[in-house]
């Protein structure tokens, strides 16, 4: 487990650092926080303590604090992140000033350092700030952001701290995890399918495609070559992803089966319809003169089962099980039936997660019997956790 030391300086964006700490913890990092005195006036240390489950370091001379804490913190860290990084802490770092716990720790560490600047646009564009950042970059410090937009002072311009998700992704890159899937051919399915009843009606489901698109986008950021086979979705194609749009289950089957043999990893996140009308009518069915309408439904092709029956030993196959009760039992049965390496199971009736939500909770089941329970988190964070597990499965297959 990598150790992240999060330094929080006294900018109004300190509240965003709480979200950053949470995202890093959800990715499996051990996170410790050191706050400047001014930062504690904006966000309470207890908040970070609750999020990280670790004590928060506050002062060089804190009562009961560990002796030489700046040295121990500096040596334990695999990466140091300063977010927000004010003009003041950037200046201290550039010129080697050390007058509090955060600045002394930064001077003592030999770990990679990442800063996420946040300040007023005039301060950001000041020659002193520009010069200080140039000094830090020459020393190998990674600078993330800032972004343009509304500022705390009421003005508009460059100076907003980058989104916590972008900073968390940068941490992965700094630690070498940005290349976790470097060069791996990945196939991901997303969204629901539409099985036509007539030219204007179809059988479908509530899938938005958000989970599959998050998986595709995250895999691309981790260095994979990604093909996304997507049912109808309002989402834009993620950068660096080759997208193929389909509508029906049979269309999805055709595209997936043709691409699966050349893919090292196949992740079936799409909510493929289980049934379709036995026959689609060529003209719109009129309501006039009808009190009821009976449809004969037949099963759609079982794409996941077909892939499980034909997959190669070195290939990793991941399935999704969206259930509404007896989650573990149903997901385990599906896993055995489909012959997948990992099953991502979630209860879609659970409030605040599942279909059309930006959040999800999941239970990861593995062929060897291992289980990993993941609590409610953004689907982007869940995608990162899934790919970390996939990477471990790839390593295991390579070692056979």
pLDDT tens string 130-151:
999 888 887 788 888 887 777 6
Q: Are residues 61 and 165 in the same domain?
A: yes
Residue 153 designated active-site? yes
What percent of the chain has pLDDT above 90?
A: 48
What pLDDT, on the 0 to 100 scale, is given for residue 65?
Answer: 54
pLDDT tens string 68-91: 677 878 888 889 999 999 999 999
Contacts of 235 (CB under 8 A, 6+ apart): 208, 209, 210, 213
Alpha-carbon span 69 to 57, nearest angstrom = 8
What pLDDT, on the 0 to 100 scale, is given for residue 230?
Answer: 96
Task: Evaluate whether 146 touches 161 at the Cβ level (below 8 Å).
Answer: yes
Q: What is the CATH number of the domain that holds 374?
A: 3.40.50.10300
For 271-314, give the secondary structure using H, E and C.
Answer: ECCCEEECCCCCCCCCCCCCCCCCCCEEECCCHHHHHHHHCCCC
Residue 361: which pLDDT band, with cuts at 50, 70 and 90?
confident
Q: What is the CATH number of the domain that holds 66?
A: 3.40.50.1950
Q: Are residues 125 and 210 in the same domain?
A: no
Q: Are residues 64 and 97 in the same domain?
A: yes
Q: Does residue 264 surpass a pLDDT of 80? A: yes
The residue from 62, 68, 128, 153 that is catalytic is 153
Q: Are residues 276 and 380 in the same domain?
A: yes
Q: Does residue 53 surpass a pLDDT of 70? A: yes
Q: Are residues 189 and 91 in the same domain?
A: no
What pLDDT, on the 0 to 100 scale, is given for residue 35?
Answer: 92
Q: Does residue 201 surpass a pLDDT of 60? A: yes
What pLDDT, on the 0 to 100 scale, is given for residue 58?
Answer: 87
What pLDDT, on the 0 to 100 scale, is given for residue 146?
Answer: 86
Please tell me the total count of domains within the chain. 2
For 345-390, give the secondary structure using H, E and C.
Answer: EEECCCCCCCCCCCEEEEEEEECCCCEEEEEEEEHHHHHHHHHHHH
Q: Are residues 111 and 252 in the same domain?
A: no
What pLDDT, on the 0 to 100 scale, is given for residue 1?
Answer: 59
| Domain termination site, one of 150, 175, 200 | 175
Instruction: Give the chain's mean pLDDT.
Output: 88
Q: Are residues 203 and 291 in the same domain?
A: yes
Q: Are residues 260 and 379 in the same domain?
A: yes
Q: Are residues 10 and 48 in the same domain?
A: yes
Q: Are residues 163 and 221 in the same domain?
A: no
Structure tokens at 277: 């009308």
pLDDT tens string 2-39: 889 999 999 889 999 999 999 998 888 899 999 999 99
| Domain termination site, one of 142, 175, 208 | 175
Domain residues for the domain of 369 are: 180-398
Residue 152: which pLDDT band, with cuts at 50, 70 and 90?
low
Task: Evaluate whether 11 touches 362 at the Cβ level (below 8 Å).
Answer: no
Q: Are residues 184 and 146 in the same domain?
A: no
Find where tokens 């927000």 sit: 84
Instruction: Verify cis geometry, omega within 30 degrees of 0, for the bond prior to 146.
Output: yes
| Domain termination site, one of 153, 175, 197 | 175
Q: Does residue 67 surpass a pLDDT of 60? A: no
For 157, what's the count of Cα atoms within 13 Å in the CB-facing half-sphere?
Answer: 11
Task: For the full predicted model, state whether its pTM sits above 0.75.
Answer: no
pLDDT tens string 311-344: 888 999 999 988 777 888 888 899 999 999 999 9
Task: Evaluate whether 224 touches 394 at the Cβ level (below 8 Å).
Answer: no
Structure tokens at 251: 């269309």
Q: Are residues 46 and 150 in the same domain?
A: yes
Count H helices, E strands: the chain? 14, 20
């Amino acid at each position: 487990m990598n150790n992240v030391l999060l330094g929080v300086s006294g900018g109004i964006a300190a509240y965003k650092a709480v979200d950053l700490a949470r995202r890093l913890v959800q990715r499996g990092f051990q996170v410790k926080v050191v706050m400047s005195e001014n930062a504690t006036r904006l966000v309470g240390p207890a908040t970070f303590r609750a999020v990280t489950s670790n004590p928060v370091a506050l002062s060089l001379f804190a009562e009961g604090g560990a002796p030489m804490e700046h040295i121990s913190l500096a040596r334990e860290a695999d990466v140091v992140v300063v977010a927000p990084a004010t003009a003041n802490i950037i200046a201290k770092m550039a010129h080697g000033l050390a007058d509090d716990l955060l600045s002394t720790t930064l001077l003592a560490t030999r770990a990679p350092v990442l800063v996420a600047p946040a300040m007023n646009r005039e301060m950001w564009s000041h020659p002193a700030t520009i010069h200080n950042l140039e000094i830090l970059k020459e020393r190998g410090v990674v600078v993330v952001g800032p972004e343009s937009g509304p500022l705390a002072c009421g003005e508009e311009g460059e100076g907003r701290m980058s989104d916590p998700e972008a900073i968390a992704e940068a941490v992965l890159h700094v630690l070498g995890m940005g290349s976790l899937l470097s060069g791996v051919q990945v196939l991901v399915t997303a969204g629901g399918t539409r099985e036509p009843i007539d030219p204007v009606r179809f059988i479908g489901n509530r899938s938005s495609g958000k989970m599959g698109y998050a998986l595709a986008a995250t895999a691309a950021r981790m260095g994979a070559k990604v093909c996304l086979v997507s049912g109808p979705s309002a989402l834009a194609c993620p950068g660096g992803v080759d997208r193929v749009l389909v509508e029906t289950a049979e269309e999805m089957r055709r595209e997936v089966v043709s691409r699966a043999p050349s893919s090292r990893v196949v992740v079936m996140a799409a909510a493929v319809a289980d049934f379709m009308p036995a026959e689609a009518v060529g003209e719109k069915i009129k309501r006039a003169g009808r009190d009821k309408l009976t449809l004969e439904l037949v099963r759609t092709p079982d794409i996941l089962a077909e892939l499980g029956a034909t997959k190669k030993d070195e290939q990793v196959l991941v399935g999704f099980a969206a259930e509404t009760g007896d989650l573990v039992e149903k997901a385990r049965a599906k896993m055995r039936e489909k012959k997948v390496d990992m099953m991502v199971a979630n209860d879609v009736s659970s409030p605040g997660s599942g279909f059309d939500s930006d959040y999800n909770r999941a239970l990861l089941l593995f062929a060897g019997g291992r289980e990993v329970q993941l609590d409610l988190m953004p689907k982007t964070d869940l995608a990162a956790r899934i790919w970390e597990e996939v990477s471990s499965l790839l390593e295991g297959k390579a070692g056979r």
